[in-house]
Structure 1
Amino acid sequence: MSKLRNFLMAGVAGMALVACNAPAKVQSGMALKEAFADHFYIGTAMNTQEITGKDSASVEVIKKHFNAVVAENCMKAGPIQPREGEFRFDLPDQLADFAEAHGMYLSGHVLIWHSQAPRWFFTDSLGNTVTPEVLTQRMKDHIYTVVGRYKGRVKGWDVVNEAILEDGSWRKSKFYEILGEEFVPLAFQFAHEADPEAELWYNDYNEWYPGKVETVVKLIGQLRERGLRIDGVGMQGHLAMDGPTIEEYEKAIVAYANAGVKVMITELDMTALPFPDPKVGAEVSASFEYRESLNPYVNGLPDSVSVAWNNRMGELFDLFLKHSDKITRVTLWGTTDRTCWKNNWPVRGRTDYPVIFDRQYQPKPFLDKYTKK
């Protein structure tokens, strides 16, 4: 695991510890899960402090407002199997218990992803790159074990994450270097064999870029031509104030739906801060040097920025409702501004305001029109 990743996880945990000691105000208005009940699931990613109940204030927000949950980190390959054959199911088990206790839709994130895959996946005991046969077996063993354990509990899986670049070319990950494009159909095959009832999804960021849209649509067709199951495309939705346009986002939603799959908004957040490089998307390895100009709102958003943020997020939710016949779930990547990962990415130490509940655990103003009808 990279130093950056360790920093981010430690920073988020630290913020959550602060959050759990703060009193949560009484939340007024209709719960989001009720407001959107006829349209799509509304979900959030749960971090360690929330899963274990230490951030009790955020847990109360989750129980009131959300009917879908996903693990922010603990079900990724690195955390769940840090060494070959050594599985760490404690946190995922707690998350599954929480989801069942509160009647929530539980999705699994993620089976195959280059960024948080353990190093042993790709090397032998001497440090040499493994053969395609060895990597295939390791993928199979990992997917069979993880998916099999949560068979019938996890309703759907992000099978492969972030395999395609914005221009439509394939990311040259270790999975790709060893197996080529074949690692994707193999992952979908193994996931379906491990739980034939679970939905299977391809998940990525910047999925509105035309080149990426074209390749993802092509991938959907190729998987189905081989008789493999793919139910949906997860559009992560790590957005900025200046992009993508609503029209670009809508065009991508329609394209994926026309390819015959469901669409999920899987990791929604929107930074209110200046972004060092718009091409980064959600590449977690990205890191930029801290500058005060990149952290302008330490003491809160100016009214003009807050209004602009709420207007844009409201436009996005209106878009989701417009296409609720295609969209089955909208999941935020963080419950409140206090603990969202964007506070430390891609610039360490920033104060951001990226999700739909603020630091006082209150829903942001744009939600009023949905919850106070």
Structure 2
Amino acid sequence: MKRVLLGLAAIALAVAVPLPATAAQTHPGQHGGRTPDNLRELSHKIKVYIGSAVAVTPLADEEDYRRTLNREFTHVTAENAMKWAEVEPQRGQYTWDGADAVVRNAQRNHQKVRGHTLVWHNQLPEWLTTGVADGSIDAAELRGILRDHIFKEAGRYRGKIRAWDVVNEVVDDEGNLRNSIWLEKLGPGYIADAFRWAHQADPHAKLYINDYNLEWNTAKINQTLNIVKDLKAKRVPIHGIGFQGHLGIQYDYPADFPTVMKQFTDLGLEAAITEADVRMVLPVTPEKLATQADYYKRMLDTCVDNRRCVEYTVWSFTDRHSWVPGWFEGEGAATIMDENLAPKPAYDALLTVRR
């Protein structure tokens, strides 16, 4: 994901946006058969958290972005602000401003928070990767560093995070455990250790394994199922499976997704779609927008149809701040609102979902 600089003076002064009466005062089941007015109301109606990734600079600096985020969503994820390189850029020197801003804004606006992420192979601080590479940080020290990081971050937000992505993208596209510094230096046991430490740091948070292409990649699905079964057999506290949901309309929709999700929830896990977006090859056309809307809706339908799916989060709600153009040349328009925050057909399609 693209990195952001933290300019947060404005966020400390930002006031909470009042919730619309329909969102703040209604309860699940009180909406009858009418189409909800917004995504927050939809969330109450279908009893699934509807969330978005949050970029801290626009949260601080763009009033329309902040107002829309707080009106529409019942759940938020810090897009980058909780990643290790952001919170500890220098060893022992912590910068919590961005993460704190996301959490404070969520609390003011009655939103739950997904912590993202405690263990990943990307966006690690340079002092850590350099130390491992040159041998100045050996395996024993690395294990201690990882433990301390989890306790420091999960402990800081104890009681404020609904769910943590404890380990992120630990399986590669061939279905092997990813060859990260964690696997290379600590062996596969680091996954169980991370969950145990996260649970000790915050016993009330739901703890997830999270990955991309898990909606359709058979090798990745099978390996992740094996990891989950092994963790549960060892009584490791794992509570959820996160399907990132990064799709593209140039590819077929993963029609087996409901069955895949059920394989995991049948193991006793709750499920979440954690990073949904649907990119397209530019330029945008009405036909492409219609296909995009269908993909977004089908993902939410899959969640609603599985009683253990509790969250549907989009990876940014506006093309103004989407990560897609920076990573996929010639592609974009991946979110549910355009650069001016005007809803697209995908937004309207989500509002038609029923439980």
Q: Which residue of the partner structure matches residue 323 of structure 2? A: 341
Q: Which residue of the partner structure matches residue 362 of structure 1? A: 342
1:115 to 119, 122, 143: 122
Q: Which residue of the partner structure matches residue 57 of structure 1? A: 64
Q: CA deviation at 1:368?
A: 3.1
Q: Which residue of the partner structure matches residue 283 of structure 1? A: none
Q: Which runs of 5+ in 1 are unaligned?
A: 14-27, 274-295
Amino acid at match of 1:96: V
2:3 to 9, 19, 24: 9
Rounded Cα–Cα distance in structure 1 between residues aligned with 2:297 and 2:53: 20
Q: Which residue of the partner structure matches residue 50 of structure 2? A: 42
**SS of equivalent to 2:193:** helix
Q: CA deviation at 1:117?
A: 1.3
1:187 to 182, 194, 205: 194
Q: Which residue of the partner structure matches residue 153 of structure 2? A: 146
Q: CA separation of 1:50/1:312 partners in 2, compared to 1, >3 Å: closer, same or farther?
A: same
Determine what percentage of the aligned residue pairs are the same residue. 28
Amino acid at match of 2:89: P
**SS of equivalent to 2:268:** coil
1:205 to 199, 209, 212: 212
**SS of equivalent to 1:192:** helix
Q: Which residue of the partner structure matches residue 287 of structure 2? A: 304
1:228 to 207, 221, 236: 236
Rounded Cα–Cα distance in structure 1 between residues aligned with 2:203 and 2:292: 41
C-alpha RMSD of matched pairs (Å): 2.4
Q: CA deviation at 1:39?
A: 2.8
CA contact (8 A) 2:116 2:165 kept: yes
- Aligned residue pairs total 324
Q: CA separation of 1:306/1:124 partners in 2, compared to 1, >3 Å: closer, same or farther?
A: closer
Question: Whose relative contact order is higher, 1 or 2, with alpha carbons under 8 Å and at least 6 apart?
Answer: 1
* Dislocated runs of 4+, deviation >6 Å: none
Amino acid at match of 1:352: G
TM-score (norm. length: structure 1): 0.81
Q: Which residue of the partner structure matches residue 259 of structure 2? A: 251
1:245-290 superposed Cα distances (whole Å, 9 cap, x missing partner): 34232222111112220111001111111xxxxxxxxxxxxxxxxx
2:333 to 339, 344, 353: 353
Q: CA deviation at 1:45?
A: 0.5
TM-score (norm. length: structure 2): 0.85
Amino acid at match of 1:40: V
Q: CA deviation at 1:61?
A: 1.1
Rounded Cα–Cα distance in structure 2 between residues aligned with 1:194 and 1:40: 26
Q: Which residue of the partner structure matches residue 101 of structure 1? A: 108
Q: CA deviation at 1:228?
A: 1.4
Rounded Cα–Cα distance in structure 2 between residues aligned with 1:185 and 1:170: 13
Q: CA separation of 1:266/1:369 partners in 2, compared to 1, >3 Å: closer, same or farther?
A: closer
2:95 to 76, 83, 88: 88
Q: CA separation of 1:340/1:43 partners in 2, compared to 1, >3 Å: closer, same or farther?
A: same
CA contact (8 A) 2:289 2:345 kept: no
Amino acid at match of 1:75: M
Q: CA deviation at 1:70?
A: 0.8
1:67-110 superposed Cα distances (whole Å, 9 cap, x missing partner): 10110001001111112111111111111110110110011000
**SS of equivalent to 1:247:** coil
Amino acid at match of 1:87: Y
Q: Which residue of the partner structure matches residue 24 of structure 1? A: none
Q: CA separation of 1:359/1:242 partners in 2, compared to 1, >3 Å: closer, same or farther?
A: same
CA contact (8 A) 1:109 1:157 kept: yes
Rounded Cα–Cα distance in structure 2 between residues aligned with 1:314 and 1:369: 6
Q: CA deviation at 1:244?
A: 5.2
Asked whether 1:33 is paired with 2:3, we answer no
Q: CA deviation at 1:336?
A: 0.3
1:213-244 superposed Cα distances (whole Å, 9 cap, x missing partner): 11111111211222210000111111111445
Q: CA separation of 1:10/1:148 partners in 2, compared to 1, >3 Å: closer, same or farther?
A: closer
Rounded Cα–Cα distance in structure 2 between residues aligned with 1:109 and 1:249: 23
